[in-house]
Amino acid sequence: MSHIKNIAIIIAAIVITACGGSTGDKFVGKWVNVGSPHITLEIEKDSGGKTFTVTDRMTWMGKPLVAKYTATVEDESLMMKTPRGKMPLFIDKNGVLQASMARGCPKCDQWERAK
């Protein structure tokens, strides 16, 4: 009987592990730029579960501007593919997303979760 109980525990552990999220799941959601709160990033996990879509929304010269990028998990970061090459996104120990989106304003590389 003990043998069956151990097998059941092992199977439960495998199922829980298999259903658990990836490292990239912590990036999913809406983020607001610290330096310019009208700029947002939305990060979504794609249906296959291996890639993410990063949507950058801002206003440029009075008009909405939206850019979409694909990202994949590498170590503890998301690596976003841009026309300038790969760009890392990571969450620091304070829960702030660090993502340089090639903007020059102070703190424009810092993002907080939208409330």
Domain boundaries, the chain: 23-113
The CATH superfamily of 23-113 is Calycin beta-barrel core domain (2.40.128.20)
**What's the token pair of residue 11?**
């199977």
Q: Is the per-residue pLDDT at 97 higher than 50?
A: yes
Classify burial at 111, counting beta carbons within 10 Å of its beta carbon; exposed 0-12, middle 13-18, buried 19 or more: buried
Q: Is the per-residue pLDDT at 103 higher than 60?
A: yes
31 neighbors 111 (Cβ within 8 angstroms)? yes
The string of pLDDT tens digits covering residues 9-51 is 555 444 443 444 677 999 999 999 999 999 999 999 998 889 9
pLDDT of residue 21: 60
49 neighbors 105 (Cβ within 8 angstroms)? no
pLDDT of residue 12: 44
